Amino acid sequence: MKQQHILSVLVENSPGVLTHISSLLSRRGINISSIAASSTEEPDITRISLVVEVSDYEAWAEILNQLENLIQVTKVIEMTNESPIARELSLIKVKASPDQRAEITNVTDIFRARIVDVHPESMVIELTGESQKVDAFCDLMQRFGIIEIIRTGSVFMSRAPEAAAE
């Protein structure tokens, strides 16, 4: 059984850091299902939010230790069991003939998504939320015809009053 793990990895913002992380995971045959990296409240520190699928729990504990061992990694935070706030941003381009627009707009409203661009043949919709919400929205858009989907990958924040790194 594959299990999903959510990781927040704080790293030095320097070249090669992603190579080190991805080569460590790929060596074990672990697939990264989502990855998002960006700057943090600390200068020079980047946060990499990872969702990976792992089949063996004991191997996973070992991999966390090996990640911690990487020189450029300052902190590895496993967030899987604390149901963190999860969000991803997606842009969805759907086919939108004039007679379909009303219904697309309707669904967009229900999901609290936003229409950010309109073309005579298509619309671009922006949606933020948990991955499942984005999945559900994309499913509904399927019948109009999805031209393109772009998703940022999930980012996570713990609900605790302090920063996750502490």
Residues that bind other proteins (CB under 8 A): 11-12, 15-16, 19-20, 23-24, 27, 44-45, 58, 61-62, 65-66, 68-74
Angle at 14 between CA 8 and CA 19, to 5 degrees: 70
Least distance in angstroms from the C-beta of 5 to other proteins: 17
Distance CA 49, CA 34 (A): 8
- Tell me if 39 sits within 8 A of 66, measured CB to CB: no
Distance CA 128, CA 159 (A): 18
Least distance in angstroms from the C-beta of 66 to other proteins: 5
Comparing CB distances to other proteins, the nearer of 59 and 118 is 59
Least distance in angstroms from the C-beta of 131 to other proteins: 29
Least distance in angstroms from the C-beta of 19 to other proteins: 5
Comparing CB distances to other proteins, the nearer of 20 and 95 is 20
Comparing CB distances to other proteins, the nearer of 11 and 86 is 11
Sequence-ordered list of residues with C-beta below 8 angstroms from that of 149, at least 6 positions apart, any chain: 90, 91, 92, 93, 138
- Tell me if 86 sits within 8 A of 8, measured CB to CB: no
Comparing CB distances to other proteins, the nearer of 56 and 126 is 56
Comparing CB distances to other proteins, the nearer of 68 and 135 is 68
Least distance in angstroms from the C-beta of 23 to other proteins: 5
